[in-house]
Amino acid sequence: MNDVKQKCEKILTQEGIDINSEIDFDVNGKVHTLSFLYILETFMLSSDESQLVFLAALEKALDAKDMGVDRFFEGMGQLLLMTHLSDKIE
């Protein structure tokens, strides 16, 4: 397992978030469900540099009192869904 993924998983654990728990997203009345693990693993498929950016952003979210890790993952999940849905449109 890569080091960046391990660090991200450690942050989730420290924040008391079960990596297998899920987030529901309502997209035009249709609910899509993504787990924290799916979101993390999907972003870990990107380049090494992108993985480091993901980790840095997660650490910033950890420091931001109004953001938090769960809100960060909600945003990343929305990004994944928007990317996936825009690929289907083309």
Please check whether residue 20 is in contact with residue 36, taking contact to mean a CB–CB distance below 8 angstroms: yes
Measured CA to CA, the distance from residue 13 to residue 88 in angstroms comes to: 34
- C-alpha torsion angle, residues 24, 78, 80, 5 (rounded to 10): -80
Q: What is the pLDDT of residue 86?
A: 65
Domain boundaries, the chain: 3-89
According to DSSP, the residues that pair with 26 across neighbouring strands are: 31
Query: Is the entire prediction scored with pTM above 0.75?
Result: yes
pLDDT per residue over 7-37, tens digit each? 999 999 999 999 999 999 988 888 999 999 9
Burial classification of residue 67, based on how many CB atoms lie within 10 Å of its CB (0-12 exposed, 13-18 middle, 19 or more buried): middle
